[in-house]
Amino acid sequence: MKLFLKGQRCFTEKCAVSRRDYPPGVHAQKRAKVTEYGVRLREKQKLKRIYGVQERQFKIYFSEAERLKGNTGENLMTLLERRLDNVVLSAGFSLSRNHARQLINHGHFRVNGRRVDVASFCVRPGDVITPGTAENTRKIVGEALEVNKSQPVPGWLAVTADTLSARVVGLPRREDVPHPIQEQLIIELCSK
């Protein structure tokens, strides 16, 4: 399945999944039937890979989602969408999630005027995300915006391209998550 880990490359014919939609190896087409546990585990692994989260971080996000009021699956998706690396990618300031993480870790982004170098920083409504004042940073972000101008911006973000800023208007809802995730299977697996 296409997880869009390579940024814009996933939208072109160079995408590996478009060229060959089966696993590598000689006996890839003869795989055994997947069990119920395997289906749920695959869904969890897919979510972890999409957001670039390790197992320990994922357990923390899951326990936080369980603690919050409301649907645990929707809470989990909301928490993952609010990560700073995801916000930078969704706003179009980077080419891929890994590119967003690298820019953030090198201190190229500011949240409410303060430098943030943690990719897992959780944004809140009202936060303003801007690139740093260095000319090189603004050039990189401007080029990424040009490349990503055809990609839609989620409704919970307000992006101003001329000032290179993004404002968090509200919390993301389940409908705002573009990935084909069945969070109910993840909840069933992690609740054991």
User: Tokens standing for 180?
Assistant: 């084909």
The C-alpha atoms of residue 70 and residue 191 are separated, in whole angstroms, by 16
Domains of the chain (ranges plus CATH)?
83-170 (3.10.290.10)
Tell me the pLDDT band of 147, cut-offs 50, 70 and 90.
confident
User: Tokens standing for 57?
Assistant: 């971080």
56-92 pLDDT tens trace: 999 999 999 999 999 999 999 999 999 999 999 988 8
User: Tokens standing for 111?
Assistant: 């949240």
Answer whether residue 5 shows pLDDT above 70.
no
Provide mean pLDDT across the span 100-120: 92
Mean pLDDT of the chain: 86
User: Lowest-confidence range among 28-32, 144-148, 170-174?
Assistant: 28-32
**Three-state secondary structure call for residue 72:** helix
Name the H helices within 6-134.
Answer: 16-19, 36-51, 55-67, 72-81, 84-91, 97-105
State residue 103's pLDDT score: 92
Residue 59 backbone dihedrals phi, psi, to 5 degrees: -65, -40
134-143 pLDDT tens trace: 898 889 989 8
State residue 34's pLDDT score: 82
Is 62 in contact with 77 (CB distance < 8 Å)? no
Provide mean pLDDT across the span 12-34: 69
CA atoms within 13 A on the CB side of 180: 5
Q: Name residue 1's amino acid.
A: M
Tell me the pLDDT band of 11, cut-offs 50, 70 and 90.
low
Chain centroid, CA 149 distance in Å: 18
Tell me the pLDDT band of 162, cut-offs 50, 70 and 90.
confident
The C-alpha atoms of residue 108 and residue 115 are separated, in whole angstroms, by 8
The C-alpha atoms of residue 165 and residue 129 are separated, in whole angstroms, by 6
Residue 166 backbone dihedrals phi, psi, to 5 degrees: -130, 135
78-88 pLDDT tens trace: 999 999 999 99
